[in-house]
Structure 1
């Protein structure tokens, strides 16, 4: 299954409000898509990873970036562009904001998925329907019902549940790095930065998965659709409405037209 076929399945069965996004780590500059926008060069700004995904899912742009284009210091470490300095590992970034103590901050930073520096490269995001190559990871933003729909599709063949972790920060690492390292899909709770910088809305969540699961997901979406798990979620309408007493009185009069009292 190619990226366009996967996109068609997602659009048909999930109907997300923004483009499904492909993400790929590209090692060499010459292998970047020719129409990709480099933030610092083409937009004259440095951006966050979540902004790159935002450009792809909302504008339909292909973004290619590395540490030179990246404004977020947490992502600089997570994506292997900069080393884990003591100031970072000791919890200084989170203490007083996300954690009460430095000790708790250390645990928070240790829990952020990190791409080894030797595996780092250009972070490329693009709308799935215009994929210049097969992605490494796919992320789909939607409401909770749409994310549930994707979860059901992914579990159609394998059963069980999808374990995910939530921390309220660095969701860019959960979206891309965790599926790369584990091969497992992730339900994503958008982080504070994703909402602040990438304009992710309060009613949005996300679902990311390794592209190797594309065929399984597409078949699972079709199978669960046939089984009755659908989006939009159908509402139960086979009931008789109950009306106020004054309305009921008029109904009684309809049945007894001789009684006008």
Structure 2
């Protein structure tokens, strides 16, 4: 797919399912790759979940380096840096009383999807319908019914199931980006304390993430099932 194809599919997906905000194109730029040309550098230090939320609502496009990420846990699971030992061990969440024991916190953190540390040098963000690069993953923040329709469209051609794994931790970063990037599978997640505190993700919204290679079939099936002329 070229950039024009991706933009067209992004607009169609948004229109077909009547999603209020833009699907977000995310590319993890590997350490030995170049950052796509023409993409501005973000001018403010903030969190990955806030970056995604700003892109989907405001239509901004930019790339972020490791030092631009205010949430180092989010940056770490996407491969931009090593994870803080206290976060990796579960100690941070245990001290926040999110777990009864340190062992339960550690067990959860051991299962968080993580891109190998320092294998990524930048993350590029754009509304899908404006993307001038090929993303790795598309994040769609939408209402449960729309996520249901997305799930049905993903399975329309080949069948199967959507495998969703989450813990209400590291949601928009680990579940939303690292999981589909590593697995090549679509995923659904419900948000986390941080992403719901620092963004405008609404109580009635959730997150679906889709590898870009699934996009064309997803849109074709969505149009067939839910488009203007669908029965």
Give the TM-score, by structure 2 length.
Answer: 0.89
**1:196 equivalent in structure 2:** 197
**2:16 equivalent in structure 1:** 13
Q: Does 1:165 align with 2:165?
A: yes
**Aligned residues of 1:55 and 1:63 also touching (Cα < 8 A):** no
Once the two structures are TM-superposed, the CA of residue 119 in structure 1 deviates from its matched residue by: 2.8
**Aligned residues of 2:91 and 2:102 also touching (Cα < 8 A):** yes
SS at match of 1:93: helix
- Aligned ranges 1:170-189 → 2 under 5 Å: 170-171=170-171, 172-189=173-190
- Aligned ranges 1:86-97 → 2 under 5 Å: 86-97=85-96
**1:215 equivalent in structure 2:** 216
**Aligned residues of 2:186 and 2:209 also touching (Cα < 8 A):** yes
Pairs aligned (count): 225
SS at match of 2:93: coil
Q: Does 1:36 align with 2:40?
A: yes
**Aligned residues of 2:77 and 2:114 also touching (Cα < 8 A):** yes
- Aligned ranges 1:104-253 → 2 under 5 Å: 104-171=104-171, 172-225=173-226
Cα distance between partner residues in 1 of 2:35 and 2:66? 17
The two structures, once aligned, show a CA RMSD in angstroms of 2.2
Q: Does 1:57 align with 2:63?
A: no
Which stretch shifts more, 23-32 or 216-225?
23-32
Cα distance between partner residues in 2 of 1:123 and 1:91? 25
Distance 1:118 1:90, change over 3 A: closer
Once the two structures are TM-superposed, the CA of residue 141 in structure 1 deviates from its matched residue by: 1.0
Runs of 5+ unmatched residues, structure 2: none
SS at match of 1:54: helix
Distance 1:198 1:220, change over 3 A: same
**Aligned residues of 1:184 and 1:210 also touching (Cα < 8 A):** yes
Cα distance between partner residues in 1 of 2:137 and 2:187? 11
Give the TM-score, by structure 1 length.
Answer: 0.79
Cα distance between partner residues in 1 of 2:73 and 2:59? 26
**1:77 equivalent in structure 2:** 76
Which of the two has higher C-alpha Rg?
1
Cα distance between partner residues in 1 of 2:230 and 2:153? 9
Distance 1:202 1:117, change over 3 A: same
Distance 1:212 1:82, change over 3 A: same
Q: Does 1:25 align with 2:24?
A: no
Q: Post-superposition, which runs of at least 4 consecutive aligned residues in structure 1 deviate over 6 A? A: none
